[in-house]
Structure 1
Amino acid sequence: MDLKFEVVVLPVSDVDRSKNFYESLGFRMDVDNTFSDDYRLVHLTPPGSQCSIIFGKGTISATPGSAQGLYLIVSDVEQARAELVDRGVEVSEVFHDAGGLLHHGHEAGDAVHSGAGQERLSGPHPDRTSYASYATFSDPDGNGWVLQEITERQPGR
């Protein structure tokens, strides 16, 4: 069986504000259709991605801003962060996790989460190990995105 992860539906409060935000990040506009007064669908794709986002009016019942841990994979987290900042996005400083490779759910501004080895340290991972350097940002509703630097994939990926 061939399964492809294609789309994430984001809960937003203002469709046009969200559309403008994601287009300002360079996301490609795929669809913007209004089907009725109660249903509008906006579909955008990040540059280089095979997975897209959808939001709109009447598309999801989740609370706006409740989507968290949405990963955008980049080859250079510092460069990606700088480009987003140049586009007017408030992005956390680049950080790495004291425990090593895996991100432990750090939201922008959090210094430490409970549990050993889950400390957010300033700057990219000292060895620039793949999967180990991050930056975070949110859309206008608070949906949380993570930039993760990957320069070499794990075997089988």
Structure 2
Amino acid sequence: MDWTLEVVVLPVADIGRAIAFYRDKIGFHLDHDTTNEWMHVAQLTPPGSGCSIVVGDLPAQNQMAPGSMRGLHLVVADAAAARAELVGRGVECDEITSFDERDGGTFFGFADPDGNTWAVQQIKARAAKPLIPHDARSRFGEGMEI
């Protein structure tokens, strides 16, 4: 039996600000933004990812302090290009650090407006062998469940 991690709940103080940051600055796809009389919840997915983040005001989300998530992890094939893209969009990023010369040993980080922190790890092998094949993405659409 497969057990897949598909959603991480991210505590934020301002849902609209979080949507704008993750969609417009980081480049995540906005899968849905649902508001009704009981809730406001949005789901965003990094390009090429099978896991999304959810921001909102449901009871479980309100029990976590905004900005309390640390070390959420993204993987890219080229850390320098990814960092340059984010900096070009106005995101404050740490400098790139290589802890190990082997593939997977290079990182940089950033934080969202609430202080939730992200590590971005370079794994060059992802360029040739993505976790979700590009043909599956084109069949189902970026940000869609496969």
- CA RMSD for the aligned pairs? 1.5
Count residues in correspondence. 124
Query: Which ranges of structure 2 fall in alignment gaps of 5 or more residues?
Result: 132-146
CA shift for structure 1 position 152: 3.1
Question: Which residue of the partner structure matches residue 138 of structure 2?
Answer: none
Question: Which residue of the partner structure matches residue 35 of structure 2?
Answer: 34
Distance in 2 (alpha carbons) for counterparts of 1:152 and 1:81: 18
Q: How does 1:39-58 map to 2 (within 5 A)?
A: 39-58=39-58
CA shift for structure 1 position 68: 0.9
CA deviation profile, 1:89-134 (whole Å, cap 9, x unmatched): 000000122xx4xxxxxxxxxxxxxxxxxxxxxxxxxx3x211000
CA deviation profile, 1:10-38 (whole Å, cap 9, x unmatched): 000000000000011211111100122x5
SS of the residue aligned with 1:137?
strand
Letter of the structure 1 residue corresponding to residue 52 of structure 2: S
- % of aligned pairs identical? 46
Q: How does 1:64-75 map to 2 (within 5 A)?
A: 64-75=66-77
SS of the residue aligned with 1:23?
helix
CA shift for structure 1 position 151: 1.6
Question: Which residue of the partner structure matches residue 12 of structure 1?
Answer: 12
TM-score (ref. length: structure 1): 0.75
SS of the residue aligned with 1:141?
coil
Query: Which ranges of structure 1 fall in alignment gaps of 5 or more residues?
Result: 101-126
Question: Which residue of the partner structure matches residue 136 of structure 2?
Answer: none
| Displaced runs of 4 or more, over 3 A | none
